[in-house]
Amino acid sequence: MLHRVLLNEERIKYTWNKGLAISPEKLEEWVLFFRSKKMDVISLDEALVRCENNDRRKFVVITLDDGYKDNLTIGLPLFKKLNIPVTIYISTCFPDNKTIYWWYFLEEFILKNNSIDLNSIGLDITFRCESVEEKNKAYNYIREVLRRADYATHVNFAHKVCGLSDLEGLNKKLNLSWGEVKELSEEPLVTIGAHTMHHVSLANQKEELAKVEILQSKSEIEAKINKKVDHFAYPYGSLDDGSKREFFILKKAGFKSAVFNHPGSLFSVDGENKFKIPRMGLTDETSKRKVVDLFEGKVHLNFNGVNKTIC
Ligand SMILES: [Zn+2]
């Protein structure tokens, strides 16, 4: 799982969000590493076929979440050079220029301030954040609260806590436009998937809202790219961001797969398993040992014990 492809000098400017981007050099190094270990880099559709056929060959599927512009400007030339298929999951708030980058705003606010107070947005949370340790604690705690919050809370956080007003300018700079999403969708190496409308944690919203977020993101992207959208990624992707309720909605909507951001092994794509596919984030900092362990099942064992499913 990737989000952004950024030059290293840009990537290292971030603190907690550094891992959201991978440098082109590192991505190339990873792909060469996979190939040296006889792991095929294949498309998500091919991976599902291989699983259904009990094909034992090892493979890697590369996916990017959200819809960042750098996927096109820096990512695409590299995907072509390396000849790697990728799936890009789009939250429609990205090309609609309505993204609330609360994870970046929270990082900037905590780095610049010595305290943070969320009472103005209805959350009884205050933190001192003077020392590095306090800042780490505040970021990690508030990230978990905001991850589960609704879109209106994200908007209020940006305006009332961070005092930000011109969010559209930032959106236009960072987000793929609909024209660019269409351009990517026409590339043979690229598959476009859905990632909700407002980048919310589905299982933490009311059922009716979760349904709208799934169905409307699918239909809006399909209308814009004039292609069917078969694959889905849960925003944030922890195990509490998607549940049986979402597996059912996705299946009924005609999706073929859905991915978490939780490491594990895929034992079968029968039944609901294809709606809870595990993934592992890959960054410049990820160790090769961790990836080898993943392919040997050790990462799955650490996270999930001997349970064969990840949920
Ligand atoms: Zn996302």
In DSSP terms, 259 is beta-bridged to: 233, 277
Query: What count of other Cβ atoms lies within 10 Å of the Cβ of residue 277?
Result: 24
Domain contains 282: yes
What's the gap in Å between 237 CA and the centre of ligand 1? Answer: 8
Domain contains 309: no
Shared domain check, 194 and 66: yes
What's the gap in Å between 252 CA and the centre of ligand 1? Answer: 22
Tokens linked to 309: 């499913």
Q: Which of 170, 172, 171, 167 has the alpha carbon at shortest distance from 156?
A: 167
Shared domain check, 202 and 61: yes
Asked which of 167, 191, 222 is the last residue of a domain, the reply is 167
What's the gap in Å between 55 CA and the centre of ligand 1? Answer: 30
What's the gap in Å between 32 CA and the centre of ligand 1? Answer: 26
Locate tokens 């290293």: which residue?
Answer: 8
Residues of the chain scoring pLDDT < 50: 311
By three-state DSSP, how is residue 299 classified? helix
Domain contains 71: yes
What's the gap in Å between 65 CA and the centre of ligand 1? Answer: 5
pTM of the model: 0.95
Tokens linked to 277: 């596919």
Shared domain check, 145 and 16: no
Give the model's pLDDT for residue 309: 61
Domain contains 310: no
Asked which of 150, 167, 184 is the last residue of a domain, the reply is 167
| DSSP element (H, E) containing 192 | strand 190-194
Domain contains 153: yes
What's the gap in Å between 54 CA and the centre of ligand 1? Answer: 30
Domain contains 288: yes
What's the gap in Å between 233 CA and the centre of ligand 1? Answer: 8
Give the C-alpha separation, 292 to 63, whole Å.
19
Tokens linked to 61: 């599927």
Residue 21: what residue type? A
Give the model's pLDDT for residue 287: 92
Give the C-alpha separation, 159 to 137, whole Å.
23
User: How high is the mean pLDDT of the chain?
Assistant: 95
What's the gap in Å between 293 CA and the centre of ligand 1? Answer: 25
Shared domain check, 122 and 86: no
Asked which of 167, 189, 215 is the last residue of a domain, the reply is 167
What's the gap in Å between 307 CA and the centre of ligand 1? Answer: 26
Give the model's pLDDT for residue 311: 45
Q: Is the dihedral of CA 39, 40, 45, 46 positive or negative?
A: negative
Shared domain check, 182 and 159: no
What's the gap in Å between 90 CA and the centre of ligand 1? Answer: 8
In Å, how far from its chain's centre is CA 244?
Answer: 20
What is the domain count for the chain? 2
Give the C-alpha separation, 31 to 60, whole Å.
9
Domain that holds residue 159: 102-167
By three-state DSSP, how is residue 298 classified? helix
Shared domain check, 75 and 28: yes
Domain contains 311: no
What's the gap in Å between 308 CA and the centre of ligand 1? Answer: 26
In DSSP terms, 12 is beta-bridged to: none
